[in-house]
Amino acid sequence: MKNDKAMRSLNVRLFKQPQDYSSCWQAMKSFTDVRQKDSIDEVWLLEHEPVFTLGIRERAEDCIDTGDIPVVKTDRGGLITYHGPGQLLIYLMLDLRRLGAGLKFLVKQLEQATIDMLGEYGIQAERKANAPGVYVDGRKIASLGLRVQRGSTYHGLSLNVDMDLSPFDRIVPCGLAGMKMTDMKSLGVTAKCDEIGGRFVQLLAEMLRYNEIFHDLVESSRDDSE
């Protein structure tokens, strides 16, 4: 990444209510479609209503028994995963060209920010070669799936904080046969998603050299606010 001292701003939106996945996805796409060279980068912190999402590498055999939970085909990288209450979604609308960074570099920084943040809560985590995400004792705690359009990213990272993990048993998470999931609550952490998200953004902003951060609290759902 380029080492410059230019003013680099980041707008962080914290959504207080669980969000409908499809509405959020369309909002990210719309933001990316209309953004200009001087548009401020954004990070959205939120939780979703229960949903399975399929990445562009979707495989039918990874859907074991989705039952009454909706399944949405998306344009992000990766395979199938689950989102639901108690899982922190970190959506990243970042201009890679302005950051002077490539996608592989950003993925590495996202993983490292997650590892560092978990370490502050006493959780020793690691990355795995050829399997993007963050793992604790062989179990997956954070998943990654991004899309790049016009040099900018959307979609992002999901971190299991305090959630019902049983829906993961109804799929092959991220296409990793036999992979078990865990969350921060199971590992002894009682912090809430908003606190954890705030600390994650601080760490990532330092890594990517953002020197001006704005915060926006969104009380309504995507549907209500549009």
Q: Is 174 a catalytic site residue?
A: yes
Q: How high is the mean pLDDT of the chain?
A: 93
Has residue 3 got a pLDDT over 90? no
**C-alpha Rg value of the chain to the nearest Å:** 17
Residue-range domain boundaries for the chain? 9-225
Cβ atoms 84, 48 nearer than 8 A: yes
Beta bridge partners of 93: 42
Residue 23 backbone phi and psi in degrees, to 5: -65, -40
Q: Chain centroid to CA 7: how far?
A: 25
CATH class of 9-225: alpha beta
Q: What is the pLDDT of residue 222?
A: 52
Average pLDDT on 182-202 reads 97
Residue 10 backbone phi and psi in degrees, to 5: -140, 130
From the candidates 24, 63, 174, 193, which is the catalytic residue?
174
Has residue 70 got a pLDDT over 80? yes
pLDDT band at 221 (very low <50, low <70, confident <90, very high): low
